Amino acid sequence: MFNVSLVQRLQEELKANPGSLPFDEILYCNIGNPQSLGQLPITFFREVLALCDHPTILDKAETQGLFSADSIERAWQILDQIPGRATGAYSHSQGIKGLRDTIAAGIEARDGFPANPNDIFLTDGASPAVHMMMQLLISSEKDGILCPIPQYPLYSASIALHGGSLIPYYLDEETGWGLEVSELKKQLEEARSKGISVRALVVINPGNPTGQVLAEENQRDIVEFCKKEGLVLLADEVYQENIYVPEKKFHSFKKVARSMGYGDNDLCLVSFQSVSKGYHGECGKRGGYMEITGFSPEVREQIYKVASVNLCSNISGQILASLVMSPPKVGDESYESYSAEKDGILESLARRAKTLEDAFNSLEGITCNKAEGAMYLFPRIRLPEKAIKAAEAAKTAPDLFYCRHLLNATGVVVVPGSGFGQVPGTWHFRCTILPQEDKIPAIVSRLTDFHKSFMDEYRD
Amino acid sequence: MFNVSLVQRLQEELKANPGSLPFDEILYCNIGNPQSLGQLPITFFREVLALCDHPTILDKAETQGLFSADSIERAWQILDQIPGRATGAYSHSQGIKGLRDTIAAGIEARDGFPANPNDIFLTDGASPAVHMMMQLLISSEKDGILCPIPQYPLYSASIALHGGSLIPYYLDEETGWGLEVSELKKQLEEARSKGISVRALVVINPGNPTGQVLAEENQRDIVEFCKKEGLVLLADEVYQENIYVPEKKFHSFKKVARSMGYGDNDLCLVSFQSVSKGYHGECGKRGGYMEITGFSPEVREQIYKVASVNLCSNISGQILASLVMSPPKVGDESYESYSAEKDGILESLARRAKTLEDAFNSLEGITCNKAEGAMYLFPRIRLPEKAIKAAEAAKTAPDLFYCRHLLNATGVVVVPGSGFGQVPGTWHFRCTILPQEDKIPAIVSRLTDFHKSFMDEYRD
């Protein structure tokens, strides 16, 4: 993060000398970390986790008064799926079989197509899963991975870490961060002409930092492209629950591929899922999974070996991943409170997204696509020449210059577009929609006032 | 693990056709996974974890009846250390500062020398910490890491993964797996003469798979050696609580170095600790930390960067690591039950170690050093020539041949020495001391009967 130390300094200054800065609190719009900003966990999930952590209270009378009946029932079910009910034991390196069964059933219910528990690898969040796949796909800089620009920098970092080549493809800001297959083709061919063997295509849907949700037809074209070109499709689907517009729906790439009649022999596909995102936002639990289909037994064996290196992912995260894929159902005691919590969070996120989007679009020189999904807006700022010159003089990128001024003037923290990649000569920043709803008006007014005075200062 | 699929097949056979095999259950002596074999978690630790998972019950009346008073108090303390009390948020990439304060205080209490919370990196168990350090120490096959033979194969795997060279040094079986500085010197010089730049020395104390506990004087020689040769000392101290003989005590390498007057400018030192071992054995929680001292700010910055790649370790594991380093104290409500649980486990492990050691030493051609600590015995088998020939004919290593026969005949699972390395021409296997105490007589009698008939069959 570009300005962690600056933010820390400001935070300390606010504490030491209240009133010394032009703002009275830091407003974090920089990281996708909902619970750090006051979002509460889903009660049912936490009840089950607590009971699995301390199962000896399960049959005590007081427990009935403290925990919902279905959380107690679910905890028993989960414990029965764990060999010896030992939540403190290493599990199978892919994760506990019974939990993978539950997740596979959840995927089937979501997609309407079969899912195999042996295709599930439970991981400590999605990041280690991405690293595992990069490790397997990359053996030298001659191995290329097609990645969206802008992109969540986990991908560029992981490709660099494993010594491969990132082959960028640009999302089209004009069409709401559209993913054009013609652009994929162009970049693929260019990479191949340089002797790079392109192994895989990364698609982030819903998009990070761009917030778009792909249309099903677009997904079909992407599947077709991967099949034709023999690319592994790495589908980052961690925001699958975060959709804010009625005209868009999440479709997993597996569902799209299967509905086109493509099975295991047609396409190598990896879907990443995480407990950190969605309406639950359980980042600190480090849970997630990848579902891998279409790989040969030899490659699966390699993936298993890499998964075994750290023995297994944490069991609480495994349990939570199973809960996320099988939440309470109609008729369960917790169903109503669960639904109210979930809908409350998602509806509020949708309102926050819309308010921030409108605010950005009302500002001189800023245009902002809709956050159809995920947790981010990625507005474009057309900076005046004078600002760009001032940034040059200060030896910073113009977007960083803008974001730093914003932070110093308002306490609002956003991330410059250069961290995600952008079309050269364009400038953006990523702003999360995660601050609690009562903070949004302050963010809007601070942003608006700042932007006006910034433009007044630097307008050509 | 050498024979996972064979074990699985036998397990399934036992279920499908009870009575079809010469034994009625598999006896697992292969993995250091105590809770998978029925060891119960420490109540206080689990109480605190459950309360931190579901803090809304903390001030309910029923909670007082279900949880100890000090677990409730501790949960409040921990929540107060977490920004926003958000146990579901990403933390600082080194781990929650307040928990690192607690761990540093625990290290100070253990060693009698200061510890700095900024030197602590919380991790998902010790394995990721080892990988992080290897990633930083190794940039090519010209970078060498001195490792004990026999060794827990995490080290060889991690060095291979990062493309470095393992420089073996042999532990001396004759002197109870002694670690001789003359051997370290010899191997260091040999490696240097081949153009290898030796970066670090790995010491596992107490030893895995060898179970020895280093004498303090020996540790001083090792510290001196590292200082003189400019080596990073990577001290695997995850078994620091597992000591079974009154004549040995655990001393951390940091304490030893500090007591010699060596500070940050004299020695780069990393100590690995885990919640998976000790008397608690919480493998599934994936918690642990490394304490790094003596590194330059630039290297620390690099370590921090690598730690940031996966955002943070899981918060439950972080909390548990703090609990392990600050368990209940005299006067706390839980102190007595906690001590009883802890002592019960450690005393039982000591008895199991002794019983198994004696059993091995009573067998023809087997000699077995004491398990002074850790969780393992590593007996040496002198196999008759005929058995070695039969193994060759079966295209397996002789130790694997023996272990496989043992498994097929008795259901006892141990790991052949070749997985850990051994002096060429010698054969061993690793046997954990973890099966519950009431299983030990069966293990001893099955082992004894098997060994006799094996020797009868193959005796020259």
Report yes or no on B53 lying in a domain.
no
Q: Which chain B positions have a beta carbon within 8 Å of A72's beta carbon? A: none
Query: Is A436 found in the same domain as A290?
Result: no
**Ramachandran sector of residue B436 (left: φ over 0; alpha: ψ -120 to 50; beta: rest):** beta
Report yes or no on A427 lying in a domain.
yes
Query: Is B241 found in the same domain as B100?
Result: yes
Q: Which chain B positions have a beta carbon within 8 Å of A313's beta carbon? A: 124, 286
* Cis-peptide into A206, omega within 30 deg: yes
Report yes or no on A310 lying in a domain.
yes
Q: Note down the domain range covering B203.
A: 81-324
Query: Is B399 found in the same domain as B281?
Result: no
Residue A460: pLDDT band with limits 50, 70, 90: confident
DSSP calls for A204-259: ESS-TTT-----HHHHHHHHHHHHHHT-EEEEE-TTTT-B--TT-----HHHHHHH
Q: Which CATH number fits the domain that encloses residue B393?
A: 3.90.1150.10
Q: Which of B57, B67, B313 sits opposite A286 (nearest CB)?
A: B313
Q: Which chain B positions have a beta carbon within 8 Å of A276's beta carbon? A: 90
Torsion sign across C-alpha atoms B135, B136, B140, B143 = negative
User: B324, B358, B377 — which closes off a domain?
Assistant: B324
Answer whether A90 sits within 8 Å of B47, measured CB to CB.
no
Secondary structure letter of residue B294 according to DSSP? S
The pLDDT value given to residue A6 = 87
Query: How big, in percent rounded to 5, are the helix, strand and coil portions of chain A?
Result: 50, 15, 35
Q: What is the distance, to the nearest Å, from the Cα of residue B158 to the centroid of all Cα atoms in its chain?
A: 15
The whole-chain average pLDDT of chain B stands at: 95
Answer whether A314 sits within 8 Å of B84, measured CB to CB.
no
The pLDDT value given to residue B3 = 63
Q: Which of B33, B66, B127 sits opposite A310 (nearest CB)?
A: B127
DSSP calls for B402-444: HHHHHHHHH-EE-EEGGGT---TT-EEEEEES-S-GGGHHHHH
Answer whether B310 sits within 8 Å of A53, measured CB to CB.
no
User: Is-contact B394 B384, C-beta < 8 A?
Assistant: no
Tokens of B359: 């059993």
Report yes or no on A279 lying in a domain.
yes
Q: Which chain A positions have a beta carbon within 8 Å of B301's beta carbon? A: none
Residue A346: enclosing H or E segment and its boundaries?
helix A335-361
Inform me whether the pLDDT recorded for B28 exceeds 50.
yes
Q: Which CATH number fits the domain that encloses residue A218?
A: 3.40.640.10
User: A280, A296, A324 — which closes off a domain?
Assistant: A324
CB atoms within 10 A of CB A178: 15
| CA dist list (Å): B289 to A49, A229, B154, B294, B404 | 23, 44, 16, 17, 36
User: Is-contact B418 B387, C-beta < 8 A?
Assistant: no
Query: Is B100 found in the same domain as B163?
Result: yes
The pLDDT value given to residue A176 = 93
Tokens of B257: 């170095």
- Using alpha carbons, select from A166, A106, A90 the residue that is nearest to residue A134: A166
Residue B267's SS3 state is coil
Q: Based on the structure, what is the number of domains in chain A?
A: 2
Query: Is B351 found in the same domain as B293?
Result: no
Answer whether A43 sits within 8 Å of B56, measured CB to CB.
yes
CA angle B171-B177-B178, nearest 5°?
A: 75
CB atoms within 10 A of CB A210: 28
Report yes or no on B127 lying in a domain.
yes
Query: Is B173 found in the same domain as B89?
Result: yes
The pLDDT value given to residue B2 = 54
Query: Is B307 found in the same domain as B422?
Result: no
Report yes or no on A15 lying in a domain.
yes
Query: Is B383 found in the same domain as B272?
Result: no
Inform me whether the pLDDT recorded for A179 exceeds 60.
yes
B231-290 confidence digits (pLDDT tens): 999 999 999 999 999 999 999 999 999 999 999 999 999 999 999 999 999 999 999 999
User: A270, A290, A324 — which closes off a domain?
Assistant: A324
Q: Looking at chain B, which residue has its C-alpha nearest residue A288? A: B314
- Using alpha carbons, select from A414, A341, A413, A344 the residue that is nearest to residue A377: A414
Query: Is B158 found in the same domain as B214?
Result: yes
Long-range pairs for A3-6: beta carbons < 8 A, 24 or more residues apart: A3/A403, A3/A404, A3/A407, A3/A413, A6/A404, A6/A407, A6/A408
**Ramachandran sector of residue B177 (left: φ over 0; alpha: ψ -120 to 50; beta: rest):** left
Distance, in angstroms, between A48 CA and closest chain B CA? 9
A34-78 confidence digits (pLDDT tens): 999 999 999 999 999 999 999 999 999 999 999 999 999 999 999
* Cα gap B35→B28, rounded to integer Å: 12
Strands B165-170, B143-149: pairing is parallel
Q: What is the distance, to the nearest Å, from the Cα of residue A392 to the centroid of all Cα atoms in its chain?
A: 33
CB atoms within 10 A of CB B193: 8
Inform me whether the pLDDT recorded for A279 exceeds 70.
yes
Report yes or no on A226 lying in a domain.
yes
Query: Is A450 found in the same domain as A372?
Result: yes
User: Is ipTM strictly over 0.90?
Assistant: yes
Query: Is B159 found in the same domain as B127?
Result: yes
Q: Which of B37, B312, B317 sits opposite A314 (nearest CB)?
A: B317
Query: Is A191 found in the same domain as A139?
Result: yes
* Cis-peptide into A150, omega within 30 deg: yes
Residue B4: pLDDT band with limits 50, 70, 90: confident
Report yes or no on B73 lying in a domain.
no
- Using alpha carbons, select from A181, A236, A175, A187 the residue that is nearest to residue A209: A236
* Cα gap A291→B403, rounded to integer Å: 35
Q: What is the distance, to the nearest Å, from the Cα of residue A328 to the centroid of all Cα atoms in its chain?
A: 23
Inform me whether the pLDDT recorded for A352 exceeds 70.
yes
Average pLDDT over residues B405-421: 95
The pLDDT value given to residue A297 = 93
